[in-house]
């Protein structure tokens, strides 16, 4: 499925803005549903941090996915979009008391607890409300996801989760507390993972852990394997819907679930990345001695991934003469940059594009995940608006 940019619509909208191809989002959600419909005990929770745009959230609610939240704000946004609290899980190494209160007030399905200190606070706050909070422990499985060091989380030297060797002790503590109920184990090994092997390794690790816990007579009703499935940034139209089939198959084949055990996924990027593009205008073409700079009106404040992680996003000049065609002619080499006063405000260097003029529309592709949600107002720039197609 190829994203078509409707230039007529775009001409009326002030740049920069995020464009979301909602038909592609819906097709992606339908594909997930198709892949897991035979598994009644499988549940996908959308990782709200990837994109909390209200329209996107409402499509996700409509597709009956749950939500994986990492703040009180995300819990409220998910609920406002129509995602029931019974499908909301809440993770994060530093949950503030007021955020835990939001989770308790809505009676969310599970707190993914990252330390015994946090467990004690949840128990205390739940006691005051005279309710029992369901908790799962985030365990650090020590699986190398072979991804960017800033987005890998499953190795033992990370700040996330509880060390495997402390697992039983944490569960026993939960079982001894009056206002929490131990309901599961939570894992997440990293993000933008393109090879299923790390997920298979995760499954094998979970199998071992389960056997170990069973020896101590601990039964775990829920297994949450987190998110992390990557997408094709180089060629978004070649793979606009990620290969969910083979991702889910990895778990079906390698994970040994017990009778009645529920399996949870927390996918973010793979659901929303390809449906979003950051649309910008060329402000200037600055000709240096050795290179040309294509200076856009979009910057790292709308899309920080290139500046922050050195991430690649495909850049396209969108034809404004023809409603849907993206010009293929490539005849100039540019450093594509934004206007912010930071030398890292660069989208891509030495990049070949059809020759551009001031005013041309540029699409920065695969920006639906961790784009709008990571936008800032640095340099007092306004937050980007969005257009849904
Ligand atoms: N579950 C947990 C516990 C997580 O920490 C994350 C992402 C997810 C699920 C969703 O992962 P996904 O399916 O989207 O890979 N800002 C970075 C990505 C940070 C990911 C943080 N955790 C980026 O722009 O690449």
Same domain, 318 and 262: no
Same domain, 128 and 194: yes
Distance 228 CA to ligand 1 centre (A): 6
Name the more confident of 319 and 5: 5
Read off the pLDDT of residues 179-193 as tens digits, 9 standing for 90 and up: 999 999 999 999 999
Atom of ligand 1 nearest to the CA of 269: 14
pTM above 0.75, yes or no: yes
* Pocket-forming residues, ligand 1, beta carbon under 6 Å: 47, 50, 68, 91, 151, 153, 188, 191-192, 226-229, 266-270, 305, 309, 370
Same domain, 196 and 158: yes
Same domain, 281 and 269: no
Distance 290 CA to ligand 1 centre (A): 38
Which structural domain, as residue segments, surrounds residue 136? 22-273
Domain end marker among 273, 302, 335: 273
Distance 22 CA to ligand 1 centre (A): 21
Same domain, 341 and 258: no
Query: Is pLDDT above 80 for 31?
Result: yes
Report the 3 state secondary structure along the chain. CCCCCCHHHHHCCCCCEEEECHHHHHHHHHHHHHHHCCCCCEEEEEEHHHCCCHHHHHHHHHCCCEEEECCHHHHHHHHHCCCCHHHEEECCCCCCHHHHHHHHHHCCCEEEECCHHHHHHHHHHHHHHCCCEEEEEEEECCCCCCCCHHHECCCCCCCCCEEHHHHHHHHHHHHHCCCEEEEEEECCCECCECCCHHHHHHHHHHHHHHHHHHHCCCCCCEEECCCCECCCCCCCCCCCCCCHHHHHHHHHHHCCCCCCCEEEEEECHHHHHHHEEEEEEEEEEEECCCCEEEEECCCCCCCCHHHHHCCCCCEEEECCCCCCCECCCCCEEEEEECCCCCCCCEEEEEEEECCCCCCCEEEECCCCCCCHHHCCCHHHCCCCEEEEC
Same domain, 369 and 234: no
Domain end marker among 273, 297, 318: 273
Query: Is pLDDT above 60 for 370?
Result: yes
> Which residue of 189, 266, 275, 304 sits with most ligand 1 atoms within 8 Å of its CB, as the best mutation to test the pocket?
266
Domain end marker among 215, 242, 273: 273
Same domain, 269 and 279: no
pLDDT over 90 percentage in the chain: 87
Residue nearest to atom 6 of ligand 1 (CA): 227
So what's the pLDDT on residue 159?
Answer: 80
Distance 204 CA to ligand 1 centre (A): 22
How many domains does one find in the chain? 2
């Amino acid at each position: 499925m190829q994203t078509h940019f409707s230039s007529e619509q775009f001409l009326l909208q002030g740049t920069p803005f995020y464009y979301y191809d909602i038909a592609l989002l819906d097709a992606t959600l339908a594909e997930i549903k198709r892949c897991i419909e035979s598994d009644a005990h499988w549940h996908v929770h959308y990782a709200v941090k990837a994109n909390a745009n209200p329209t996107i959230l409402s499509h996700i609610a409509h597709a009956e996915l749950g939500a994986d939240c990492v703040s009180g704000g995300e819990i409220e946004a998910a609920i406002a979009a129509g995602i029931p609290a019974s499908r909301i899980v809440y993770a994060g190494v530093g949950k503030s008391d007021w955020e835990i209160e939001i989770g308790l007030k809505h009676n969310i399905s599970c707190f993914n607890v990252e330390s015994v200190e946090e467990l004690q606070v949840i128990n205390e706050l739940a006691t005051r409300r005279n309710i029992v909070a369901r908790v799962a422990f985030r365990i650090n499985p020590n699986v190398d996801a072979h991804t960017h060091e800033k987005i890998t989380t499953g190795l033992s030297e990370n700040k996330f989760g509880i060390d495997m060797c402390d697992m039983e002790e944490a569960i026993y503590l939960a079982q001894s507390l009056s206002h929490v109920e131990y309901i599961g184990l939570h894992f997440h090994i990293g993000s933008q993972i393109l090879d299923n092997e790390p997920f298979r390794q995760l499954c094998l690790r979970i199998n071992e852990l389960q056997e170990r816990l069973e020896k101590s007579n601990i039964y775990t009703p829920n297994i949450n394997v987190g998110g992390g499935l990557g997408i094709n940034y180089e060629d978004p139209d070649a793979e606009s819907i990620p290969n969910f089939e083979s991702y889910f198959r990895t778990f079906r084949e390698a994970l040994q679930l017990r009778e009645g055990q529920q399996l949870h996924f927390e996918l973010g990027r793979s659901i929303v990345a390809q449906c979003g593009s950051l649309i910008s205008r060329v402000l200037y073409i600055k000709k240096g001695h050795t290179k040309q700079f294509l200076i856009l009106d979009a910057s790292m404040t709308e899309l920080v991934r290139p500046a922050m992680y050195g991430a690649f996003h495909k850049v396209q000049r969108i034809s404004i003469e023809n409603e849907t065609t993206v010009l293929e002619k490539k005849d100039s080499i540019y450093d594509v940059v934004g206007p912010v006063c930071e030398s890292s405000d660069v989208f891509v260097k030495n990049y070949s594009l059809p020759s551009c003029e001031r005013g041309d529309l540029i699409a920065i592709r695969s920006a639906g995940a961790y784009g709008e949600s990571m936008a800032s107002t640095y340099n007092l720039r306004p937050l980007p608006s969005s257009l849904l197609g």
